[in-house]
Amino acid sequence: MKSKVFDDLRGFLSELDRQGQLLRISEEVTAEPDIAAAANAAARLGDTAPALMFDNVAGFIKAQIAVGVHGSWRNHALALGLPMETSMRDQVAEFIRRWETFPVAPERRDDPPWAENSAEGDEIDLFSLLPLFRLNDGDGGFYLDKAPVISRDPEDPDNFGKQNVGIYRMQVKGARRLGLQPVPMHDIALQLTKAEERGEDLPIAIAVGNDPVITMMAGTPLEYDQSEYEMAGALRQSPYPISSAPLTGFDVPWGAEVVLEGVIEGRTRELEGPFGEFTGHYSGGRKMPVVRIDRVSYRTDPIFETLYLGMPWTEIDFLIGPATCVPLYQQLKAEYPEVQAVNAMYTHGLLAIISTKKRYGGFAKAVGVRAMTTPHGLGYVKMAIVVDEDIDPFNLPQVMWALSTKVNPDGDLVQLPKMSVMNLDPSAVPPGISDKLVIDATTPVAPDVRGHYGQAAHDLPETAQWVTRLNAMLADRI
């Protein structure tokens, strides 16, 4: 089945509207605290939450702000062109299936709508271009937190695969000045280091307001030379449209609302933050790189797409959750075909739940430890819960059943001292270092003969047929 494909934010907002998943708020609201509070509230509505579109913000002219575009399982399904009732587990399975069709070559287009308007140098005023606003009380200012940043490898600038598309938090520090947080484990930090070793600035382009798939890809841990555009093509099952940005020549999304171009100023650091992060905690008190914007291009009356994040779950968890499961699943499955599914949706995979068959006693523990040594696991997977193959790791009541009956702390806990973890983890001491824990919640198998598991109950063999039958009867009732 060919799924629906969206080339820009406006196309996807129309689809959300058609499906009843977009709430337009045209009554006047304040930039603060209304917009962040409403977006925070939408996240508390659960798996069916709509996106919100504000078009009447006090003091602004013609401002349009979209939040919560990826903010529920319904919206996430629609972003992938799936029916909106598709379950979380099925969405992740479809994500993996499409991921395996990588790479899909992008489509170059000449006529980007963002070429309609532009400004350069001191004409640039980010405050009048975008209706910026604060999210959380302790934030140091207004942020861009959902805009893919495009950069290239200074030592290999023509390599398309090494051109990076990633989302980094950016604090607005002036009319054409931003602070940017390059997490040391991320690709842009590698590129910045190379530029700074040469005493150069690192050119970048920033795309604000996009089709829903590139934003998912920009938040996904891909390998260094894998192109996010080629992965976006795989995810949408259609070539991803890109255009050349006028100043840098970088490839940027054809459908972006706004394209900012400039440089990360080499060898400059300046106080940044704090900012309430995806960990549900603020991080700040550090000096970070600074961006100078030299050119802006934008659609007429651009829509400012951004996201609220705070105490989880919020939009960012829907945005990065499924994409975090895929590489962990693939890397584990490649070595251990017994692995059935991976749910790494908690805090970008700081906790992962893995279901697996057991080769022999002790095997599940090895799978849990291996998850910690995958590339993403090095900075995340502080806890791995390993469950039997008949437990659905996305079904948390089942996982709790496994934890409550299959775990005896005497023999089922593996604590690894002083491992690496990303430095935003608030429990780490010092930042970047933490013990890690594997919880083996599988049924012991020989030669591990602990416990009394000889008489487990299972669903009746006829149950699956009855599930289908009952669902059909329920559907016919309407």
Minimum distance between the CB of residue 36 and other proteins, rounded to whole angstroms? Answer: 11
Q: 60 or 380, CB closer to other proteins?
A: 60
Query: Which residues contact residue 429 at a Cβ distance below 8 angstroms, ignoring those fewer than 6 apart?
Result: none
Q: 161 or 431, CB closer to other proteins?
A: 431
Minimum distance between the CB of residue 126 and other proteins, rounded to whole angstroms? Answer: 9
Minimum distance between the CB of residue 471 and other proteins, rounded to whole angstroms? Answer: 48
Asked if 277 is an active-site residue, the reply is: yes
Among the listed residues 15, 94, 257, 277, the single catalytic one is: 277
Q: 33 or 312, CB closer to other proteins?
A: 33
Phi/psi of residue 237, nearest 5 degrees = 60, 40
The rounded distance, in Å, linking the Cα atoms of 280 and 289 is: 23
| Helix 88-99 / helix 315-335 crossing angle, nearest 10 deg | 60
Query: Which residues contact residue 137 at a Cβ distance below 8 angstroms, ignoring those fewer than 6 apart?
Result: none
Our CA angle for 420, 425, 426, nearest 5°, is 130
Minimum distance between the CB of residue 188 and other proteins, rounded to whole angstroms? Answer: 10
Q: 183 or 445, CB closer to other proteins?
A: 183
167, containing H or E segment: strand 164-167
Distances (CA, A) of 74 to 54, 300, 301, 398: 20, 30, 28, 23
In the three-class reduction of DSSP (H, G, I as helix; E, B as strand; rest coil), residue 396 is classed as: helix
Q: 187 or 440, CB closer to other proteins?
A: 187
- What residue ranges bind other proteins (CB under 8 A)? 30-33, 58-61, 125, 127-128, 133-134, 137-138, 140-142, 171-175, 179, 181-182, 184, 189, 192-193, 196-199, 267, 269-272, 274, 282, 285-288
Which residues, in sequence order, are bridge partners of residue 244? 251
Minimum distance between the CB of residue 8 and other proteins, rounded to whole angstroms? Answer: 25
Compute how many other C-beta atoms are within 10 angstroms of the C-beta atom of residue 120. 15
Query: Which residues contact residue 229 at a Cβ distance below 8 angstroms, ignoring those fewer than 6 apart?
Result: 106, 165, 214, 217, 240, 242, 251
Alpha helices in 132-176 (DSSP H): none
Minimum distance between the CB of residue 222 and other proteins, rounded to whole angstroms? Answer: 20
Minimum distance between the CB of residue 374 and other proteins, rounded to whole angstroms? Answer: 23
Distances (CA, A) of 215 to 219, 261, 307, 465: 7, 18, 11, 39
Q: 58 or 464, CB closer to other proteins?
A: 58
Q: 140 or 375, CB closer to other proteins?
A: 140
DSSP letters, 274-328, are -EE-TTSSEE--EEE-EEEEEEEEE-SS-EEE----SSSSSHHHHHHHHHHHHHH
Burial of 338 by CB count in 10 Å (0-12 exposed, 13-18 middle, 19+ buried)? Answer: middle
Catalytic residues: 277
